[in-house]
Amino acid sequence: MSRAYRRASRRASRATGREGRVVEQRGLAADDPALVDASAALDRAAATGMVTVELPVSLAAVVEGLTDEIEQLAGQAGLLIMHAVMEAEVEQLAGPKGRHEPQRANSRWGRQRGYAVLGGKKVRLTRPRVRNESGGEVALQSYARFQSPPRRRGSIYKKLIHGISTRKYERAIEEFTDGYGISKSAVSRQWVTATRGGLQALCERKIGELGHMAVLMIDGLIYAGECIVVALGVDQQGKKHVLGLVQGASENAAVVQGLLDDLIQRGLDAKAKRLYVLDGSKALRSAVHKTFGQAIAVQRCQIHKRRNVKEYLPPEHQRAVDTRLKAAYSMTGYAEARKMLRSTVTWLESLNPSAAASLREGLEETLTLHKLRVPEELRGSLRSTNLIESAISVVRATTRRVKRWRAGDMRLRWSAAGLLAAEKGFRRIRGYKSMSVLLAKVDAFDATLADQSEAA
Protein backbone atom coordinates (compact mmCIF):
# COMPACT_ATOMS: atom_id res chain seq x y z
CA MET A 1 0.00 0.00 0.00
CA SER A 2 1.50 3.36 -1.04
CA ARG A 3 2.28 6.29 1.24
CA ALA A 4 -0.21 8.47 -0.66
CA TYR A 5 -2.92 5.88 -0.10
CA ARG A 6 -2.30 5.75 3.68
CA ARG A 7 -2.12 9.53 3.92
CA ALA A 8 -5.41 9.98 2.06
CA SER A 9 -7.13 7.38 4.25
CA ARG A 10 -5.98 9.07 7.47
CA ARG A 11 -7.11 12.49 6.27
CA ALA A 12 -10.44 11.12 5.17
CA SER A 13 -11.02 9.42 8.55
CA ARG A 14 -10.15 12.58 10.50
CA ALA A 15 -12.46 14.68 8.33
CA THR A 16 -15.58 12.61 8.91
CA GLY A 17 -14.93 9.99 11.59
CA ARG A 18 -16.44 7.38 9.37
CA GLU A 19 -15.65 5.62 6.13
CA GLY A 20 -17.53 5.21 2.91
CA ARG A 21 -16.73 2.89 0.10
CA VAL A 22 -15.76 3.29 -3.51
CA VAL A 23 -16.52 0.01 -5.20
CA GLU A 24 -15.23 -1.04 -8.58
CA GLN A 25 -17.34 -3.93 -9.77
CA ARG A 26 -18.99 -5.63 -12.67
CA GLY A 27 -22.40 -7.22 -12.63
CA LEU A 28 -23.41 -6.59 -8.96
CA ALA A 29 -25.35 -3.80 -7.29
CA ALA A 30 -23.40 -1.44 -5.01
CA ASP A 31 -25.49 -2.36 -1.95
CA ASP A 32 -25.11 -6.12 -2.40
CA PRO A 33 -24.27 -7.71 1.02
CA ALA A 34 -21.67 -9.87 -0.67
CA LEU A 35 -19.50 -6.79 -1.12
CA VAL A 36 -18.99 -6.39 2.61
CA ASP A 37 -16.23 -8.94 2.72
CA ALA A 38 -13.58 -8.52 0.00
CA SER A 39 -12.06 -11.94 0.61
CA ALA A 40 -15.43 -13.60 0.21
CA ALA A 41 -15.92 -11.75 -3.06
CA LEU A 42 -12.60 -13.07 -4.33
CA ASP A 43 -13.64 -16.60 -3.33
CA ARG A 44 -16.62 -16.28 -5.63
CA ALA A 45 -14.64 -14.70 -8.45
CA ALA A 46 -13.57 -17.99 -9.97
CA ALA A 47 -17.14 -19.25 -10.08
CA THR A 48 -18.90 -16.05 -11.18
CA GLY A 49 -16.23 -14.47 -13.37
CA MET A 50 -16.73 -11.16 -11.50
CA VAL A 51 -14.17 -9.27 -9.44
CA THR A 52 -14.93 -6.84 -6.61
CA VAL A 53 -12.37 -4.43 -5.13
CA GLU A 54 -13.08 -2.18 -2.13
CA LEU A 55 -11.12 0.96 -1.24
CA PRO A 56 -11.80 2.88 2.01
CA VAL A 57 -12.18 6.59 1.31
CA SER A 58 -14.26 9.31 2.93
CA LEU A 59 -17.09 10.55 0.73
CA ALA A 60 -16.93 13.93 2.47
CA ALA A 61 -13.22 14.12 1.75
CA VAL A 62 -13.97 13.60 -1.93
CA VAL A 63 -16.37 16.52 -1.83
CA GLU A 64 -13.79 18.68 -0.07
CA GLY A 65 -11.59 18.24 -3.14
CA LEU A 66 -8.63 16.03 -2.26
CA THR A 67 -7.74 16.01 -5.96
CA ASP A 68 -4.14 14.85 -5.78
CA GLU A 69 -4.88 12.09 -3.28
CA ILE A 70 -7.89 10.87 -5.26
CA GLU A 71 -5.81 10.66 -8.45
CA GLN A 72 -3.22 8.63 -6.55
CA LEU A 73 -5.98 6.40 -5.21
CA ALA A 74 -7.31 5.92 -8.73
CA GLY A 75 -3.92 4.56 -9.76
CA GLN A 76 -3.82 2.27 -6.73
CA ALA A 77 -7.36 1.12 -7.53
CA GLY A 78 -6.25 0.17 -11.03
CA LEU A 79 -3.40 -1.91 -9.63
CA LEU A 80 -5.67 -3.58 -7.09
CA ILE A 81 -8.15 -4.48 -9.81
CA MET A 82 -5.36 -5.97 -11.92
CA HIS A 83 -4.12 -8.02 -8.94
CA ALA A 84 -7.65 -9.21 -8.18
CA VAL A 85 -8.28 -10.25 -11.79
CA MET A 86 -5.01 -12.20 -11.93
CA GLU A 87 -5.77 -13.91 -8.62
CA ALA A 88 -9.21 -14.86 -9.91
CA GLU A 89 -7.66 -16.41 -13.01
CA VAL A 90 -5.13 -18.30 -10.87
CA GLU A 91 -7.99 -19.69 -8.80
CA GLN A 92 -9.75 -20.84 -11.95
CA LEU A 93 -6.59 -22.59 -13.14
CA ALA A 94 -5.25 -24.01 -9.84
CA GLY A 95 -8.28 -24.05 -7.56
CA PRO A 96 -8.74 -22.35 -4.16
CA LYS A 97 -5.59 -21.73 -2.20
CA GLY A 98 -4.92 -24.21 0.64
CA ARG A 99 -7.27 -26.92 -0.66
CA HIS A 100 -5.87 -30.19 -1.89
CA GLU A 101 -7.59 -31.52 -5.00
CA PRO A 102 -6.03 -34.75 -6.41
CA GLN A 103 -7.49 -34.27 -9.88
CA ARG A 104 -6.11 -30.76 -10.20
CA ALA A 105 -3.78 -30.36 -13.23
CA ASN A 106 -2.20 -27.03 -12.28
CA SER A 107 -0.68 -25.66 -9.11
CA ARG A 108 0.46 -22.28 -7.78
CA TRP A 109 4.09 -21.41 -8.40
CA GLY A 110 4.88 -18.35 -6.32
CA ARG A 111 5.20 -14.80 -7.61
CA GLN A 112 7.46 -12.78 -9.86
CA ARG A 113 8.12 -9.13 -10.53
CA GLY A 114 6.59 -7.78 -13.72
CA TYR A 115 4.80 -4.75 -15.14
CA ALA A 116 1.48 -3.63 -16.59
CA VAL A 117 0.48 -0.67 -18.75
CA LEU A 118 -1.57 1.88 -16.80
CA GLY A 119 -2.27 5.46 -17.91
CA GLY A 120 0.02 5.17 -20.92
CA LYS A 121 3.13 4.01 -19.03
CA LYS A 122 4.63 0.88 -17.53
CA VAL A 123 3.85 0.26 -13.85
CA ARG A 124 5.70 -2.29 -11.70
CA LEU A 125 3.70 -5.04 -10.01
CA THR A 126 4.10 -8.54 -8.63
CA ARG A 127 2.28 -11.20 -10.61
CA PRO A 128 1.26 -14.72 -9.51
CA ARG A 129 2.52 -17.75 -11.42
CA VAL A 130 1.00 -21.14 -12.24
CA ARG A 131 2.66 -24.34 -13.47
CA ASN A 132 1.26 -27.52 -14.93
CA GLU A 133 1.98 -31.17 -14.10
CA SER A 134 5.03 -31.28 -16.36
CA GLY A 135 6.58 -28.28 -14.60
CA GLY A 136 5.99 -25.78 -17.37
CA GLU A 137 4.50 -22.37 -16.72
CA VAL A 138 0.88 -21.67 -17.57
CA ALA A 139 0.56 -18.17 -19.02
CA LEU A 140 -2.04 -15.89 -17.47
CA GLN A 141 -4.21 -14.32 -20.14
CA SER A 142 -5.09 -11.40 -17.88
CA TYR A 143 -1.41 -10.53 -17.29
CA ALA A 144 -0.67 -10.68 -21.01
CA ARG A 145 -3.59 -8.37 -21.67
CA PHE A 146 -2.51 -5.89 -18.97
CA GLN A 147 0.93 -5.48 -20.50
CA SER A 148 -0.25 -5.63 -24.11
CA PRO A 149 1.76 -3.15 -26.26
CA PRO A 150 -1.30 -1.97 -28.25
CA ARG A 151 -2.82 -0.52 -25.04
CA ARG A 152 0.19 1.74 -24.51
CA ARG A 153 0.66 2.33 -28.21
CA GLY A 154 -2.94 3.53 -28.50
CA SER A 155 -2.48 5.99 -25.64
CA ILE A 156 0.69 7.39 -27.23
CA TYR A 157 -0.94 7.61 -30.67
CA LYS A 158 -3.92 9.60 -29.38
CA LYS A 159 -1.74 12.14 -27.58
CA LEU A 160 0.86 12.66 -30.31
CA ILE A 161 -1.77 12.98 -33.04
CA HIS A 162 -3.20 15.91 -31.06
CA GLY A 163 0.11 17.76 -30.90
CA ILE A 164 1.91 16.44 -27.80
CA SER A 165 5.62 16.09 -28.58
CA THR A 166 7.64 13.05 -27.58
CA ARG A 167 9.66 15.25 -25.21
CA LYS A 168 6.54 16.41 -23.35
CA TYR A 169 4.67 13.10 -23.31
CA GLU A 170 5.86 12.18 -19.82
CA ARG A 171 4.42 15.42 -18.41
CA ALA A 172 1.19 15.09 -20.39
CA ILE A 173 0.05 11.66 -19.21
CA GLU A 174 -2.05 11.17 -16.11
CA GLU A 175 0.09 10.87 -13.00
CA PHE A 176 -1.95 8.06 -11.46
CA THR A 177 0.97 6.14 -10.04
CA ASP A 178 4.71 5.72 -10.38
CA GLY A 179 5.77 4.31 -13.71
CA TYR A 180 8.62 3.94 -16.18
CA GLY A 181 9.22 3.30 -19.87
CA ILE A 182 8.03 6.78 -20.90
CA SER A 183 11.27 8.32 -22.14
CA LYS A 184 11.35 10.26 -25.40
CA SER A 185 12.97 7.38 -27.26
CA ALA A 186 10.51 4.82 -25.89
CA VAL A 187 7.54 6.98 -26.88
CA SER A 188 9.08 7.53 -30.32
CA ARG A 189 9.46 3.79 -30.90
CA GLN A 190 5.83 3.17 -29.98
CA TRP A 191 4.74 6.02 -32.26
CA VAL A 192 6.71 4.59 -35.19
CA THR A 193 5.06 1.20 -34.70
CA ALA A 194 1.57 2.68 -34.45
CA THR A 195 1.91 4.97 -37.47
CA ARG A 196 3.52 2.25 -39.56
CA GLY A 197 0.47 0.09 -38.96
CA GLY A 198 -1.83 2.96 -39.97
CA LEU A 199 0.18 3.56 -43.15
CA GLN A 200 -0.01 -0.10 -44.08
CA ALA A 201 -3.78 -0.20 -43.50
CA LEU A 202 -4.29 2.89 -45.66
CA CYS A 203 -2.07 1.67 -48.49
CA GLU A 204 -3.78 -1.75 -48.52
CA ARG A 205 -7.34 -0.42 -48.35
CA LYS A 206 -9.61 -2.17 -50.87
CA ILE A 207 -11.13 0.69 -52.85
CA GLY A 208 -13.60 -1.58 -54.62
CA GLU A 209 -15.28 -2.33 -51.29
CA LEU A 210 -15.95 1.38 -50.67
CA GLY A 211 -18.37 1.65 -53.59
CA HIS A 212 -18.19 3.64 -56.81
CA MET A 213 -16.07 6.78 -56.51
CA ALA A 214 -18.11 9.48 -58.26
CA VAL A 215 -15.44 12.14 -57.66
CA LEU A 216 -11.66 11.85 -57.50
CA MET A 217 -9.45 14.62 -56.14
CA ILE A 218 -5.63 14.68 -56.12
CA ASP A 219 -3.34 17.19 -54.45
CA GLY A 220 0.10 17.33 -52.84
CA LEU A 221 1.91 18.79 -49.84
CA ILE A 222 5.61 19.51 -49.34
CA TYR A 223 7.72 18.21 -46.43
CA ALA A 224 11.34 19.35 -46.20
CA GLY A 225 11.85 19.43 -49.96
CA GLU A 226 9.84 16.26 -50.77
CA CYS A 227 6.25 15.92 -51.92
CA ILE A 228 3.42 13.69 -50.67
CA VAL A 229 0.66 13.29 -53.27
CA VAL A 230 -2.75 12.37 -51.80
CA ALA A 231 -5.89 11.00 -53.47
CA LEU A 232 -9.36 11.51 -52.02
CA GLY A 233 -12.61 10.06 -53.34
CA VAL A 234 -16.29 10.91 -52.91
CA ASP A 235 -18.74 8.02 -53.30
CA GLN A 236 -22.29 8.08 -54.65
CA GLN A 237 -23.70 8.92 -51.20
CA GLY A 238 -21.44 11.95 -50.84
CA LYS A 239 -19.10 10.32 -48.31
CA LYS A 240 -15.39 11.16 -48.48
CA HIS A 241 -12.63 8.54 -48.37
CA VAL A 242 -8.84 8.84 -48.27
CA LEU A 243 -7.78 6.48 -51.05
CA GLY A 244 -3.99 6.57 -50.98
CA LEU A 245 -0.76 8.55 -50.96
CA VAL A 246 2.69 8.38 -52.49
CA GLN A 247 6.01 10.13 -51.84
CA GLY A 248 8.16 11.77 -54.51
CA ALA A 249 10.67 14.51 -55.11
CA SER A 250 7.92 16.69 -56.61
CA GLU A 251 4.36 16.52 -57.95
CA ASN A 252 5.57 15.23 -61.30
CA ALA A 253 3.81 12.99 -63.81
CA ALA A 254 5.72 9.85 -62.83
CA VAL A 255 4.80 10.19 -59.15
CA VAL A 256 1.12 10.86 -59.90
CA GLN A 257 1.07 7.98 -62.38
CA GLY A 258 2.42 5.66 -59.70
CA LEU A 259 -0.37 6.71 -57.34
CA LEU A 260 -3.07 6.19 -59.99
CA ASP A 261 -1.71 2.76 -60.89
CA ASP A 262 -1.81 1.79 -57.21
CA LEU A 263 -5.44 2.97 -56.89
CA ILE A 264 -6.48 0.91 -59.90
CA GLN A 265 -4.65 -2.13 -58.58
CA ARG A 266 -6.57 -1.83 -55.30
CA GLY A 267 -9.96 -1.71 -56.99
CA LEU A 268 -10.59 1.74 -58.52
CA ASP A 269 -12.52 1.20 -61.75
CA ALA A 270 -10.56 2.99 -64.49
CA LYS A 271 -13.43 2.70 -67.00
CA ALA A 272 -16.16 4.11 -64.77
CA LYS A 273 -17.33 7.67 -65.42
CA ARG A 274 -16.59 10.19 -62.67
CA LEU A 275 -15.64 13.82 -62.10
CA TYR A 276 -11.94 14.65 -61.61
CA VAL A 277 -11.21 17.79 -59.56
CA LEU A 278 -7.63 19.00 -59.99
CA ASP A 279 -5.50 22.06 -59.36
CA GLY A 280 -3.47 23.72 -62.11
CA SER A 281 -0.63 21.18 -62.15
CA LYS A 282 0.12 20.16 -65.74
CA ALA A 283 1.88 17.00 -64.61
CA LEU A 284 -1.16 15.92 -62.61
CA ARG A 285 -3.54 16.63 -65.49
CA SER A 286 -1.28 14.76 -67.93
CA ALA A 287 -1.18 11.63 -65.76
CA VAL A 288 -4.96 11.67 -65.25
CA HIS A 289 -5.66 11.96 -68.98
CA LYS A 290 -3.12 9.26 -69.76
CA THR A 291 -4.77 6.86 -67.30
CA PHE A 292 -8.46 7.62 -67.79
CA GLY A 293 -8.62 9.05 -71.32
CA GLN A 294 -9.20 12.43 -72.98
CA ALA A 295 -13.01 12.37 -72.80
CA ILE A 296 -13.24 12.55 -68.99
CA ALA A 297 -14.89 15.40 -67.08
CA VAL A 298 -12.21 17.52 -65.39
CA GLN A 299 -13.09 20.41 -63.09
CA ARG A 300 -10.15 22.77 -62.65
CA CYS A 301 -10.00 24.32 -59.18
CA GLN A 302 -11.45 27.84 -59.42
CA ILE A 303 -9.67 29.04 -56.28
CA HIS A 304 -6.28 28.01 -57.68
CA LYS A 305 -7.10 29.81 -60.94
CA ARG A 306 -8.03 33.03 -59.14
CA ARG A 307 -4.88 32.81 -57.02
CA ASN A 308 -2.61 32.16 -60.01
CA VAL A 309 -3.99 35.10 -62.01
CA LYS A 310 -3.59 37.51 -59.08
CA GLU A 311 0.06 36.57 -58.65
CA TYR A 312 0.82 38.15 -62.07
CA LEU A 313 -0.60 41.53 -61.05
CA PRO A 314 0.54 44.34 -58.75
CA PRO A 315 -1.38 44.75 -55.48
CA GLU A 316 -3.52 47.65 -56.72
CA HIS A 317 -5.14 45.47 -59.42
CA GLN A 318 -5.45 42.18 -57.57
CA ARG A 319 -8.70 42.97 -55.78
CA ALA A 320 -10.43 44.16 -58.95
CA VAL A 321 -9.55 41.07 -60.99
CA ASP A 322 -10.45 38.73 -58.15
CA THR A 323 -13.87 40.38 -57.82
CA ARG A 324 -14.54 39.87 -61.53
CA LEU A 325 -13.45 36.22 -61.45
CA LYS A 326 -15.48 35.48 -58.34
CA ALA A 327 -18.57 37.05 -59.88
CA ALA A 328 -18.14 35.03 -63.09
CA TYR A 329 -17.79 31.70 -61.26
CA SER A 330 -20.83 32.53 -59.10
CA MET A 331 -23.11 32.79 -62.12
CA THR A 332 -25.54 29.96 -62.69
CA GLY A 333 -25.41 29.67 -66.48
CA TYR A 334 -22.42 28.47 -68.44
CA ALA A 335 -22.80 30.97 -71.30
CA GLU A 336 -22.94 34.06 -69.11
CA ALA A 337 -20.05 32.88 -66.91
CA ARG A 338 -17.92 32.16 -69.99
CA LYS A 339 -18.75 35.55 -71.49
CA MET A 340 -17.65 37.40 -68.36
CA LEU A 341 -14.41 35.42 -68.13
CA ARG A 342 -13.57 36.21 -71.75
CA SER A 343 -14.22 39.89 -71.16
CA THR A 344 -11.88 39.68 -68.16
CA VAL A 345 -9.20 38.18 -70.41
CA THR A 346 -9.59 41.12 -72.79
CA TRP A 347 -9.38 43.57 -69.89
CA LEU A 348 -6.21 41.88 -68.58
CA GLU A 349 -4.50 42.12 -71.98
CA SER A 350 -4.08 45.84 -71.42
CA LEU A 351 -2.79 45.36 -67.87
CA ASN A 352 -0.59 42.30 -68.10
CA PRO A 353 -0.57 39.89 -71.06
CA SER A 354 0.90 37.14 -68.86
CA ALA A 355 -2.05 37.39 -66.46
CA ALA A 356 -4.40 37.21 -69.42
CA ALA A 357 -2.63 34.08 -70.73
CA SER A 358 -2.85 32.48 -67.29
CA LEU A 359 -6.62 33.00 -67.18
CA ARG A 360 -7.06 31.83 -70.78
CA GLU A 361 -5.20 28.56 -70.08
CA GLY A 362 -7.66 25.96 -68.83
CA LEU A 363 -10.54 28.46 -68.76
CA GLU A 364 -13.06 25.95 -70.09
CA GLU A 365 -12.16 23.33 -67.49
CA THR A 366 -12.90 25.80 -64.68
CA LEU A 367 -16.49 25.84 -66.01
CA THR A 368 -17.06 22.08 -66.32
CA LEU A 369 -19.66 22.04 -63.53
CA HIS A 370 -21.46 24.91 -65.29
CA LYS A 371 -21.52 22.85 -68.49
CA LEU A 372 -22.94 19.87 -66.61
CA ARG A 373 -25.62 22.08 -65.00
CA VAL A 374 -24.89 20.64 -61.58
CA PRO A 375 -27.15 22.04 -58.80
CA GLU A 376 -25.64 25.07 -57.12
CA GLU A 377 -25.11 23.56 -53.64
CA LEU A 378 -23.20 20.54 -54.97
CA ARG A 379 -21.30 22.76 -57.40
CA GLY A 380 -20.08 24.82 -54.45
CA SER A 381 -18.54 21.66 -52.91
CA LEU A 382 -16.81 20.47 -56.08
CA ARG A 383 -15.63 23.65 -57.82
CA SER A 384 -12.35 23.62 -55.89
CA THR A 385 -9.98 21.20 -54.17
CA ASN A 386 -11.03 22.45 -50.72
CA LEU A 387 -12.28 18.98 -49.71
CA ILE A 388 -8.84 17.43 -49.99
CA GLU A 389 -7.00 20.53 -48.80
CA SER A 390 -9.09 20.44 -45.62
CA ALA A 391 -7.76 16.93 -44.92
CA ILE A 392 -4.22 18.04 -45.76
CA SER A 393 -4.54 20.91 -43.27
CA VAL A 394 -5.01 18.31 -40.52
CA VAL A 395 -1.75 16.69 -41.63
CA ARG A 396 0.03 20.04 -41.41
CA ALA A 397 -1.39 20.63 -37.93
CA THR A 398 -0.29 17.16 -36.85
CA THR A 399 3.27 17.63 -38.10
CA ARG A 400 3.82 21.22 -36.97
CA ARG A 401 6.04 20.11 -34.07
CA VAL A 402 8.32 17.91 -36.14
CA LYS A 403 11.74 19.57 -36.18
CA ARG A 404 13.77 17.05 -38.13
CA TRP A 405 12.58 14.93 -41.03
CA ARG A 406 14.49 11.70 -41.44
CA ALA A 407 14.84 9.44 -44.45
CA GLY A 408 12.68 6.36 -44.94
CA ASP A 409 8.95 6.26 -44.42
CA MET A 410 8.74 9.06 -41.82
CA ARG A 411 6.92 11.50 -44.12
CA LEU A 412 4.49 8.83 -45.28
CA ARG A 413 3.80 7.64 -41.72
CA TRP A 414 3.05 11.11 -40.40
CA SER A 415 0.94 11.95 -43.45
CA ALA A 416 -1.08 8.75 -43.10
CA ALA A 417 -1.62 9.41 -39.39
CA GLY A 418 -2.92 12.92 -40.10
CA LEU A 419 -5.15 11.78 -42.97
CA LEU A 420 -6.67 8.98 -40.90
CA ALA A 421 -7.31 11.44 -38.07
CA ALA A 422 -9.00 13.79 -40.54
CA GLU A 423 -11.06 10.93 -41.98
CA LYS A 424 -12.63 10.26 -38.59
CA GLY A 425 -14.23 13.71 -38.78
CA PHE A 426 -15.42 13.43 -42.40
CA ARG A 427 -19.04 14.24 -43.13
CA ARG A 428 -21.03 14.04 -46.32
CA ILE A 429 -20.36 16.88 -48.70
CA ARG A 430 -22.84 19.70 -49.08
CA GLY A 431 -25.32 18.95 -51.84
CA TYR A 432 -24.82 15.17 -51.61
CA LYS A 433 -28.50 14.60 -52.42
CA SER A 434 -27.72 15.74 -55.98
CA MET A 435 -24.96 13.15 -56.53
CA SER A 436 -27.27 11.11 -58.78
CA VAL A 437 -27.73 14.18 -60.98
CA LEU A 438 -23.95 14.62 -61.21
CA LEU A 439 -23.41 10.98 -62.16
CA ALA A 440 -26.05 11.15 -64.90
CA LYS A 441 -24.51 14.32 -66.34
CA VAL A 442 -20.96 12.94 -66.18
CA ASP A 443 -22.05 9.70 -67.83
CA ALA A 444 -23.31 11.64 -70.85
CA PHE A 445 -20.36 14.05 -70.97
CA ASP A 446 -17.57 13.82 -73.55
CA ALA A 447 -14.84 16.43 -73.19
CA THR A 448 -13.57 15.94 -76.76
CA LEU A 449 -16.99 16.69 -78.25
CA ALA A 450 -17.42 19.66 -75.90
CA ASP A 451 -14.08 21.11 -77.03
CA GLN A 452 -15.04 20.71 -80.70
CA SER A 453 -18.34 22.51 -80.18
CA GLU A 454 -16.58 25.35 -78.37
CA ALA A 455 -14.02 25.67 -81.16
CA ALA A 456 -16.81 25.88 -83.73
Q: Give the pLDDT of residue 98.
A: 74
**Quick check: 51 pLDDT over 90?**
no
Cα–Cα dist 288/298, whole Å: 9
Percent of the residues in the chain that have a pLDDT greater than 70, as a whole number: 71
Query: What does the pLDDT look like over 139-196, one tens digit per residue?
Result: 998 888 887 666 555 555 555 555 544 444 444 444 444 444 445 565 566 666 777 8
Query: What does the pLDDT look like over 220-248, one tens digit per residue?
Result: 888 777 899 999 999 999 999 999 999 98
Helices 253-265 and 282-292 pack at an angle, to 10 degrees, of: 40
HSE, side-chain direction, 13 A CA sphere, residue 231: 28
Task: Say what the alpha-carbon torsion angle 328, 331, 332, 335 is, to the nearest 10 degrees.
Answer: -40
**Quick check: 27 pLDDT over 70?**
no
Q: Give the pLDDT of residue 197.
A: 82
Cα–Cα dist 184/315, whole Å: 47
Q: What rounded mean pLDDT belongs to the chain?
A: 79
Q: Give the pLDDT of residue 50.
A: 57
- pLDDT (average), residues 362-369: 94
Across the strands, what pairs with 121?
118
Which one has a higher pLDDT value, 22 or 368? 368
Cα–Cα dist 250/265, whole Å: 23
Give the burial class of 30: count Cβ atoms within 10 A of its Cβ; 0-12 exposed, 13-18 middle, 19 or more buried. exposed
In the chain the first and final C-alpha atoms are separated, in Å, by 89
Across the strands, what pairs with 112?
127
Which one has a higher pLDDT value, 169 or 115? 115
* Cβ contact 121:175 at 8 Å: no
Cα–Cα dist 442/450, whole Å: 12
Q: Which pTM does this prediction carry?
A: 0.64
281: pLDDT confidence band, cut at 50, 70 and 90? confident
Q: Give the pLDDT of residue 446.
A: 85
Percent of the residues in the chain that have a pLDDT greater than 90, as a whole number: 43
DSSP state string for 355-391: HHHHHHTTTGGGGHHHHHT--HHHHHHHSSSHHHHHH
Q: Give the pLDDT of residue 152.
A: 52
103: pLDDT confidence band, cut at 50, 70 and 90? confident
- pLDDT (average), residues 252-270: 93
Cα–Cα dist 114/369, whole Å: 64
